[in-house]
């Protein structure tokens, strides 16, 4: 609800701070500039400038609402443990079968929706290690250690990071 009044605030609360700040700046800056020119200095600026600022502000506000709704939907879906479990099971089958291209495609989509899911990051690290990208795998394992609050993958991450 706060996102309606202050565009971008919802995105900041939903772990998208830069998107939230950018859209807040666009929306508030555009609307404030347009309203200033409309109400306080109508003779000072041509109407296309005023209309353009108002359009930028309204566009920023609308995009902020849409992105916030999309992000909220992803969080609600991510809260469904069965959804992530099915996804990780499918990824495990792909990795076991050596279908690395398909696993990479699925991980790209899955991580765009659930970039903080430790189970998906573990599969990404395993995929990177299996495809010969050890430095990238180590970077992902470090991230797994940060986001794995339950400690489920801590031992595997520690082992992968200690081996060279």
What pLDDT, on the 0 to 100 scale, is given for residue 17? Answer: 80
Domain containing residue 28: 2-78
Q: Which of 15, 43, 78 is the last residue of a domain?
A: 78
- Which one-letter DSSP state was computed for residue 45? S
Residues 72 and 6 in one domain: yes
Calculate the alpha carbon distances from 21 to 18, 27, 67, 74, 79 in Å.
5, 10, 13, 20, 26
| Total domains, the chain | 2
Percent of the chain, pLDDT > 70? 92
Integer-rounded Cα radius of gyration of the chain: 22
Calculate the alpha carbon distances from 85 to 60, 74, 79, 121 in Å.
36, 15, 11, 13
Residues 61 and 98 in one domain: no
Question: What count of Cα atoms within 13 Å lies in the side-chain half-sphere of residue 94?
Answer: 19
> What are the pLDDT digits (tens) for 107-137?
988 887 777 888 999 999 999 999 999 999 9
Answer whether residue 106 shows pLDDT above 60.
yes
Q: pLDDT-based confidence at 77, cuts 50/70/90? A: low
Comparison of pLDDT for 106 and 43, the residue scoring more: 106
> What are the pLDDT digits (tens) for 33-66?
888 888 888 888 888 888 888 898 889 888 888 8
Q: Which of 23, 46, 78 is the last residue of a domain?
A: 78
Pull the structure tokens for residue 74: 């992803």
CA 108 to chain centre: 12
CB 156 within 8 A of CB 122: yes
Residues 57 and 99 in one domain: no
- Which one-letter DSSP state was computed for residue 1? -
Residues 152 and 95 in one domain: yes
Answer whether residue 156 shows pLDDT above 70.
yes
Length of the chain: 164
pTM value is 0.55
What pLDDT, on the 0 to 100 scale, is given for residue 121? Answer: 93
Calculate the alpha carbon distances from 151 to 29, 125, 163 in Å.
43, 16, 19
What pLDDT, on the 0 to 100 scale, is given for residue 164? Answer: 61
Q: Which of 78, 106, 133 is the last residue of a domain?
A: 78
């Amino acid at each position: 609800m706060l996102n309606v009044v202050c565009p971008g605030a919802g995105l900041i609360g939903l772990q998208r701070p830069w998107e939230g700040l950018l859209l807040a700046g666009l929306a508030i800056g555009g609307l404030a500039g347009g309203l200033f020119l409309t109400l306080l200095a109508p003779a000072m600026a041509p109407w296309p400038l005023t209309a353009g600022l108002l359009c930028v502000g309204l566009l920023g506000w609308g995009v902020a609402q849409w992105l916030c709704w999309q992000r909220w939907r992803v969080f609600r879906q991510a809260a469904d443990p069965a959804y992530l479990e099915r996804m990780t099971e499918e990824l495990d089958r792909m990795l076991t079968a050596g279908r690395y291209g398909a696993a990479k495609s699925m991980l790209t989509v899955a991580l765009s929706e659930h970039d903080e899911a430790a189970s998906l990051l573990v599969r990404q690290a395993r995929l990177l290690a299996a495809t010969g990208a050890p430095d990238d795998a180590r970077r992902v394992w470090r991230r797994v250690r940060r986001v794995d609050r339950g400690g489920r993958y801590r031992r595997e991450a520690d082992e992968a990071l200690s081996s060279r």
